Amino acid sequence: MPSEGKREIASVWTRPQGRREQPALSRQQIVAEAVRLLDTEGIAALSMRKLGSRLDAGATSLYRHVANKDELIELVVDEVYGELTEPDAAQAGHWRDATTARAHGVRAMILQHPWIASVLGEVGMAHLGPNLMGLSDRMIATFESAGFPLGESDHAVRALFAYVTGTAVSEAAWLTMLARSGQSEQEWVTRLWPAAEQAAQAYPRLQKGYADQRGKDPGTIRDENFRYGLERFLDGLEARLGNIGQTRS
């Protein structure tokens, strides 16, 4: 047996699921209902007791499948990653097109489930979930097929996730705040604009930037900002790929 200091880390992904004599409630049912609860009421509303009530089951029944709320969050995070679709045949033929499609898919998923913004930094072993592991493996394979070494492909995927999730989580937090305020994004920006322009008077470049964006749909601006950052990130990888090719030749 392993010593106390070397005991394996417990994970919801490696522990057997609930006992077979409990067919009335499955882990999948629990996770699906938790996602619905989170989508409608947000992360603050999630509790084992409330989830059990929605499933017409006691919290004890849920604990046969998940040890605690933290494990439940790991499961729901991996569940929404499972909603992502793979690039179509035309996109899959080039590493850059495939990566762009996946990046936009992850961003769209986070914006569709904005509660994820408050849990991504504290989901423990979520990276061991089958959906997230499968996505990561396919992305590494895409970079490796393009010519990146395996280790560098892994670094590239990690850096891409850092950009995509960092940007999208900030957007999701912003949109969640707007939802609580009862205002649309356009209404909020319209109210804020006069103060922003006044504050920027001493900063000519910011002032011109505000003037150029006045009247533009804020959602479109967010899309453009995300696309610009993603394209420049991929430009860097493409340049790196060229250097790798020169080194090998």
All domains in the chain, ordered by first residue: 4-81 (1.10.10.60), 89-248 (1.10.357.10)
Rounded CA-CA distance 242/219 in Å is 35
Res 21: pLDDT = 45
CA 94 to each of CA 51, 52, 78, 159, 182: distance values in angstroms, whole numbers, following the listed order: 43, 46, 27, 19, 43
pLDDT at position 236, please?
97
pLDDT at residue number 5: 57
The pLDDT profile of the chain, 249 residues, written as one tens digit per residue, is: 455 556 666 677 776 665 544 457 899 999 999 999 999 999 999 999 999 999 998 878 888 888 888 889 999 999 999 999 999 988 888 999 999 999 999 999 999 999 988 887 665 555 778 999 999 999 999 999 999 999 999 999 999 999 999 999 999 999 989 988 999 999 999 998 899 989 999 999 999 998 898 889 999 999 999 999 999 999 999 999 999 978 876
- For CA atoms 1, 72, 61, 14, the dihedral sign is negative
CB 146 within 8 A of CB 241: yes
What pTM value is reported for the model? 0.87
Per-residue model confidence (pLDDT) at position 171 = 95
For 188, half-sphere exposure in the C-beta direction (CA atoms, 13 angstrom radius) is 14
